[in-house]
């Protein structure tokens, strides 16, 4: 069976997007991992299936799967890609939409360019979850702010935030030389995180500027992570490093993150289409 797909990215975080409004694609972990493989498949950080919403308050449902085939609650860059996919194809025609995810409903405002086409998406990412049980993590009973976590490479201080998916933020002096590919995978699967976690390595550049690298759960290091950028700003506020609005500079581009006093977190950033294609999926026995 042929899979018709669109390759898209948000700040270099790339995805295979499939129109699954008819609910005909039920790909197992092995199939998703093969499709996302950069040598033998299409190549992507994850796969997005566009499906009808089951919640009457939402326009569509975003079914997101990591590159290793594991199901994820949410993806910040993926949801902007999802919005662009819908807008460019006329599936939604207003400047606002609501997307259902496993991490909850996400209202989105479309920011057009001068010609009226999609330029940016401003996503209401919801309220951050700060209590340990909700992240989830076993590192504390309440908020986890710069808590010591023992790894084989030494003890690191982590601040834990959920943006519908778990994050552990580690502040470093030099993000370019941070041990992303050594400490990252160890923290990801640490026993303190029962559902595993995304791991952020963050450097404060200025009062409203953060530089960030992310080891994503089920993927590895990616060029950008939207939920990770949101969690990092929250962690910066909690540790008195930064104000409530900042540019988060990731290897693949910039995101503007805002966390108004006591409110929801907002993420604004771009999304791009790369190409469309067809990939043959072997028939199952």
> 272: closest CA among 17, 20, 64?
17
Looking up tokens 């072997």, which residue turns up? Answer: 282
Residue pLDDT, tens place only, 10-40: 999 999 999 999 999 989 999 999 999 999 9
Cβ-contact 112, 270 below 8 angstroms: no
Give the DSSP letter of residue 249: E
Is position 11 annotated as part of the catalytic site?
A: no
Tokens of 6: 């669109």
The pTM score is: 0.91
The catalytically annotated residue of 75, 160, 230, 242 is 75
Residue pLDDT, tens place only, 61-80: 999 999 999 999 999 999 99
Superfamily of domain covering 2-126+270-280: Diaminopimelate Epimerase; Chain A, domain 1 (3.10.310.10)
> 248: closest CA among 261, 262, 266?
266
The β-bridge relationship of strands 96-101 and 60-66 is parallel
The catalytically annotated residue of 11, 160, 225, 230 is 225
Tell me where in the chain the CATH 3.10.310.10 domain(s) lie: 2-126+270-280, 132-263
Cβ-contact 32, 69 below 8 angstroms: yes
Is position 75 annotated as part of the catalytic site?
A: yes
Tokens of 34: 């093969």
Say if domain 132-263 classifies as CATH 3.10.310.10: yes
């Amino acid at each position: 069976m042929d899979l018709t797909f669109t390759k898209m990215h948000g700040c270099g975080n790339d995805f295979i997007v499939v129109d699954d409004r008819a609910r005909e694609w039920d790909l197992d972990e092995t199939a998703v991992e093969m499709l996302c493989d950069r040598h033998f498949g299409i190549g992507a950080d994850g796969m997005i299936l566009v499906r009808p919403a089951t919640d009457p308050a939402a326009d569509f449902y975003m079914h997101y799967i990591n590159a290793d085939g594991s199901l994820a609650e949410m993806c910040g860059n993926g949801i902007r890609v999802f919005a662009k996919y819908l807008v460019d194809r006329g599936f939604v025609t207003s400047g606002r939409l609501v997307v259902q995810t496993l991490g909850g409903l996400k209202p989105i405002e479309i920011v057009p360019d001068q010609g009226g086409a999609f330029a940016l998406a401003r996503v209401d990412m919801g309220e951050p979850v700060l209590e340990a049980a909700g992240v989830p993590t076993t590192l504390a009973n309440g908020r986890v702010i710069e808590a010591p976590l023992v790894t084989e490479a030494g003890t690191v201080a982590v601040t834990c935030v959920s943006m519908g998916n778990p994050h552990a933020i580690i502040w470093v002096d030099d993000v370019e030389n941070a041990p992303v590919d050594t400490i990252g995978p160890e923290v990801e699967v640490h026993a303190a995180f029962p559902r595993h976690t995304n791991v952020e390595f963050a450097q404060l550049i200025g009062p409203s500027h953060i530089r960030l690298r992310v080891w994503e759960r089920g993927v590895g290091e990616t060029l950008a992570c939207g939920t990770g950028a949101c969690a990092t700003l929250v962690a910066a506020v909690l540790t008195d490093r930064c104000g409530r609005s900042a540019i988060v500079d990731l290897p693949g581009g910039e995101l503007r993150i805002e966390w108004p006093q006591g409110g929801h977190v907002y993420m604004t950033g771009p999304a791009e289409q790369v190409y469309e294609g067809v990939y043959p999926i072997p028939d199952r026995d």
